């Protein structure tokens, strides 16, 4: 899984929904630090984590990987 592309896509979707990293972290039950690491392509969430982020963004899991 290309972590940098996934991170950029999550950041793009988050900004499109007018959410801060803090709000996405809260909605997905992750820390702000983890969301930041994901968006920078340093860490990648598990499949379950991707589902949590997609749900928090109100998008499909496929949308996270549509890059």
**pLDDT tens column, 30-51:** 999 999 999 999 999 999 999 9
Q: How does the average pLDDT of the chain come out, rounded?
A: 96
Residue 67: its pLDDT value, please?
A: 84
Q: Is the pLDDT of residue 19 over 70?
A: yes
11 pLDDT band (50/70/90 cuts)? very high
Residue 20: its pLDDT value, please?
A: 98
- Specify the pTM: 0.93
Q: Are 56 and 27 in contact (CB under 8 A)?
A: yes
Class of domain 3-64: mainly alpha
DSSP codes, 19-62: --HHHHHHHHT--HHHHHHHHTTS----HHHHHHHHHHHTS-HH
């Amino acid at each position: 899984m290309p972590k940098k592309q996934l991170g950029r896509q999550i950041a793009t979707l988050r900004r499109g929904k007018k959410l801060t990293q803090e709000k996405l972290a809260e909605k997905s039950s992750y820390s702000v630090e983890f969301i930041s690491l994901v968006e920078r392509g340093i860490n990648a969430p598990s499949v379950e984590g991707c589902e949590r982020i997609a749900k928090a963004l109100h998008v499909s899991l496929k949308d996270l990987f549509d890059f």
